[in-house]
Amino acid sequence: MRLVRLVAQRFRNLEPFDLATDARFVVVHGPNAQGKTNLLEAVWTLATLRPIRGHKTRELIRWGDDEATVVGWVRGEDGRSQLRVDFGGVRRKASLDGQPVRDLPEYFACIRAISFTPSDATIVTDAPVFRRAWLDRAAFTARPTHLARVRDYERTLAQKAALLRDGRPDVGVLDVLDDQLARAGAALVEARVTLLRELVPHVRTQHAALAGGGDVGVRYRTDADGDDVPMRAARLREKLQAARVEEVRRRRSLVGPHGDDVRLLLDGHPVRQFGSRGQVRTLVLAMKLAELVAARARGDRPMFLLDDLSSELDRDRTRRLVHTLGELDVQVWISTTDPDHLGALPGADTLRIGMRGGAPEPVRNEPIAAGPDPSNGIAEPVPGDRSEQG
Amino acid sequence: MSDGDPIKDAVKQLRRLPGIGEKSATRLVYWLLRAPPETIPNISEALGRLVTEVRTCAVCGNLGAVDPCPICADPRRDPAMICVVEHPQDVMAFERSNEFRGRYHVLHGAISPLDGVGPGDLNLRPLLGRLRDGTVKEVIVATDPDVEGDATALYLVRLLQDVGITVSRLAHGISVGTEIEYADAVSLGRALLNRQRISG
Ligand SMILES: Nc1ncnc2c1ncn2[C@@H]1O[C@H](COP(=O)(O)OP(=O)(O)O)[C@@H](O)[C@H]1O
Ligand SMILES: [Mg+2]
Ligand SMILES: [Zn+2]
């Protein structure tokens, strides 16, 4: 899929814009603090209906306003769709082809994105929750229905937490919640492990290509071990049963996939403790590329978003990466302070956007047709394929 | 409660309704003020009658003008089947589907420790009473297909385990995250036909 047109209003520091983005590489360049990351975040937000990890929905809205809108036109295997998301305070409204979205997987089937940003180093270096979040995000990108699994588990866990906090929980209700937790947890773990099995060979290949050496090991550590969902559920039930007294005494949930971890090893050593900054970055990038390669193997074409590339990789690796991405044939969004860093890009299929003070300026060889006034035209259907005008 | 200004007071009262914020409440109040003169008295009267005339059916817990409710009082409804739902609106939804000829039981909620709702807060005791004399052969648990509805269903299944009654859970023909109240009649009907027996 490709994002062929992007409109945003009152989004962070960005001036209202309407950009034709039908290009394989979209390179956003400019000095620091101009809005490059914000533009990529607009794309990410459209694809996931969420801000970049660690940011709050509220922060997406231009200071002093109370609503932000991002609209995108996507060309995919099954034709075109118009996606739109409106943020107002804590509320979020998504629509697909002008209709409010009732079935989120249907929306997410139209648009997928994988991102690599400087803060992603935390996936490797920080607490297990960051690795679980990466894995759940990756599983969601692969199969949007994963969202329901995560939600079910988290909601059940929240119910159990509320019950335990009480101090003298109703045993019948606790039994029921543990039963639900075992089932939801087993399904969650099975999905995570299945995805990890799919990704690991690609992580190793991508890492070898980027680093030129080093053996990557990946292990999923869980309370719910087993070969299939029923076995994992049975195992979880056992452990929950065994932990019952302690959980009630400490008023906390001690057993379940919310405590799982993905152990990452480099030549047998935990990267979290021993990895250098460079090793960490290379590994994270390999993990993200693995998602992309696996998606391509599945027949999907998610967009790949690379934020602040120049600060992340040296020139050599950057060029190798750009080459790899070119071969994968997906739409790539790159933000950088130094576009020369990237090396040769397919000229005809590259859009360069200069970013100054929140105003994106497309720089292209051929003239760009002016878009309709974004203040009144954004709810309209696609006004023809503007990319064919060039 | 009143702070003198009738418009502000009305806005404040309407804001208590679910899904109504300051903006919508204000818009409604000004709309009402410009509506035909009989509008406000008619609405007030209808709302007032909710207080004086609505009864809870002592048998099933449903709300309506009479106790027992028309469904419990209807001899043509199959007394061997009880469909357990969370809310009175769910009864209406099932009735629209025209698939169900048994009777209902309304729990008035679902188990949710987050909201401080436990089994003791639900309309459960009367249900056990209805199962005592052996007339009821099957209980269909049609709580919402979400974590709370599922917890309630599991709880009920355990509770009814020893009573010797078939307990089935409404098959999730309705998409997860859809509350029964909003499910369309066709999918509710399908869900009823596909209900899964879980014990008994
Ligand atoms: N909600 C917002 N409203 C207005 N400006 C914002 C908002 N959020 C961030 N900014 C501004 O955006 C700028 C940073 O943009 P960013 O995309 O991170 O820059 P860079 O080009 O370095 O990637 C900062 O000047 C910041 O103050
Ligand atoms: Mg930046
Ligand atoms: Zn009744």
pLDDT above 90: percentage of residues in chain B: 70
CB B107, CB B84: distance < 8 Å: yes
Q: What is the CATH number of the domain that holds B144?
A: 3.40.1360.10
State how far the Cα of A309 lies from the Cα of A305, in Å rounded to an integer. Answer: 10
Tokens of A287: 């993990």
Q: Which residue ranges have their beta carbon within 6 Å of ligand 1?
A: A 12-13, 30, 32-38, 59, 61-63, 335, 355
B1 falls within a domain: no
Which pLDDT tens digit goes with each residue over B71-81? 999 999 999 99
> How many other β-carbons are positioned within 10 Å of the β-carbon of residue B30?
13
Pocket test for ligand 1, best of A12, A59, A334, A337 (most atoms within 8 A of CB): A12
pLDDT band at residue B181 under the 50/70/90 scheme: low
- Closest-CA residue in chain A for B175? A103
Pair (B64, B36) in one structural domain:
no
Residue B80 Cα, gap to closest chain A Cα (Å): 27
Which of A27, A28, A34, A66 to mutate to test ligand 1, by most ligand atoms within 8 A of the CB atom?
A: A34
The shortest CB-CB distance from B118 to any of A148, A173, A180 is to A173
B-facing residues of A in 106-125 (CB < 8 A) are none
CA distances (Å), origin A15, targets A47, A69, A268: 20, 12, 49
Of all residues in chain A, the percent with pLDDT exceeding 90 is 77
pLDDT score recorded for residue A102? 86
Substitution target in B150, B157, B176, B184 with the highest count of A β-carbons within 10 Å is B150
pLDDT class of B183 with cuts at 50, 70, 90: low
Judgement on whether residues B135 and B37 belong to the same structural domain of the protein: no
Same domain, B26 and B63: no
Question: B-chain residues within 8 Å CB-CB of A160?
Answer: 113
The predicted pLDDT at position B167 comes to 87
- B190 part of a folded domain: yes
pTM exceeds 0.90: no
User: What pLDDT does B3 receive?
Assistant: 65
Query: Residues B65, B30: one domain?
Result: no
Residue A140 lies inside a defined structural domain of this protein: yes
Whether residue B61 is found in the same domain as residue B133: yes
- C-alpha–C-alpha distance, residues B197 and B184, integer Å: 23
β A79-88/A68-76 pair status: antiparallel
In this structure, the answer to whether residues B24 and B120 fall within a common structural domain is no
> Within a domain: residue A63?
no
- Are B166 and B121 contained in the same domain? yes
In a domain, A76, yes or no: no
Distance CA A6, CA A40 (A): 11
Mean pLDDT of B172-183: 48
Phi/psi for A157 (5° steps) reads -65, -40
Tokens of A153: 């588990």
Q: What is the DSSP letter of A11?
A: B
- The enclosing domain of A236 has a CATH number of 1.20.1050.90
Confidence of residue B189 (pLDDT cuts 50, 70, 90): low
User: What is d(CA A262, CA B118) in angstroms, rounded to the nearest whole number?
Assistant: 36
pLDDT at B196: 66
Residue B199: predicted pLDDT: 62
Cα of B83 from ligand 3 centre, angstroms: 12
- Reading the block at residue A168, the tokens are 């003298």
Residue A385 lies in a domain: no
Asked if residue B82 and residue B21 are part of one domain, the reply reads: no
In this structure, is residue A70 part of a structural domain? Answer: no
| pLDDT for B182 | 54
In the DSSP assignment, the letter for residue A342 is: G
In a domain, B150, yes or no: yes
If asked whether residues B19 and B84 sit together in one domain, one would say no
Query: What DSSP character marks residue A63?
Result: T
B134 found inside a domain? yes
Among A118-132, B62-76, B79-93, B158-172, whose mean pLDDT is lowest?
B158-172
Domain housing A214? 126-276
For residue B154, give the chain A residue with the closest CA. A176
> In angstroms, rounded to a whole number, what is the distance separating the alpha carbons of residues A376 and A108?
26
Query: Which residue of B141, B147, B179 to mutate against A (max A Cβ within 10 Å)?
Result: B147
In contact, A295 and A195? CB cutoff 8 Å:
no
Cβ distance of B118 and A170 shorter than 8 Å: yes
- Asked whether residue A259 is domain-assigned, the answer is yes
Do B195 and B171 fall into the same domain?
A: yes
Beta bridge partners of A363: A352
CB contact under 8 A, B119 and A175: no
- Distance in angstroms (rounded) separating the CA atoms of residues A198 and A143: 13
pLDDT tens figures, A150-208: 999 999 999 999 999 988 999 999 999 999 999 999 999 999 999 999 999 999 999 99
Q: Could you tell me if B101 and B10 lie in one domain? A: no
Say yes or no to pLDDT of B175 above 70: no
Asked if the structure places residue B63 within a domain, the reply is: yes
Tokens of A105: 């997987």
Low-confidence ranges of chain A (pLDDT < 70): 364-390
Nearest-CA neighbor of A39 among A22, A23, A60, A65?
Answer: A60
Residue B91 pLDDT:
96
Q: By residue range, what is the domain housing residue B22?
A: 6-53
In a domain, A267, yes or no: yes
Nearest-CA distance A233 → chain B (Å): 16
Measured from the CA of A335, which atom of ligand 1 is nearest? 23
- Containing A332, the helix (H) or strand (E) segment is strand A332-336
ipTM value: 0.80
Q: Distance (Å, rounded) from C-alpha A147 to C-alpha A105?
A: 9
Residues from chain B contacting residue A155 (CB–CB below 8 Å): 146-147
Q: What is the largest CA-CA distance in chain A?
A: 71
Beta strands A350-356 and A68-76 are unpaired
Please check whether residue A370 lies inside any domain of the structure.
Answer: no
Mean pLDDT of chain B: 88
Gap between the Cα atoms of A193 and A354, Å rounded: 42
Ion ligand 3 neighbours (CB, 5 A) are B 57, 59-60, 62, 69, 72
Going by alpha carbons, the residue nearest to atom 14 of ligand 1 is A33
Domain contains B77: yes
Residue B45 belongs to a domain with what CATH number?
1.10.8.420
Report phi then psi at A79, rounded to 5.
Answer: 100, -155
Interface touch A173/B151, C-beta < 8 Å: yes
Domain count along chain A: 1
As to burial, measured by CB atoms within 10 angstroms (0-12 exposed, 13-18 middle, 19+ buried), residue B38 is exposed
- Asked, for residue B100, whether it belongs to a domain, the answer is yes
Structural domain contains residue B38: yes
Quick: pLDDT tens for B105-134: 999 999 999 999 999 999 999 999 999 999
Closest residue in chain B to residue A145, using alpha carbons only: B176
How many domains, in total, are found in chain B?
2
From atom 19 of ligand 1, which residue's Cα is the shortest distance away?
A33
Q: What is the pLDDT of residue A317?
A: 86
Q: Which listed ligand is nearest to A309 at the C-alpha?
A: 2
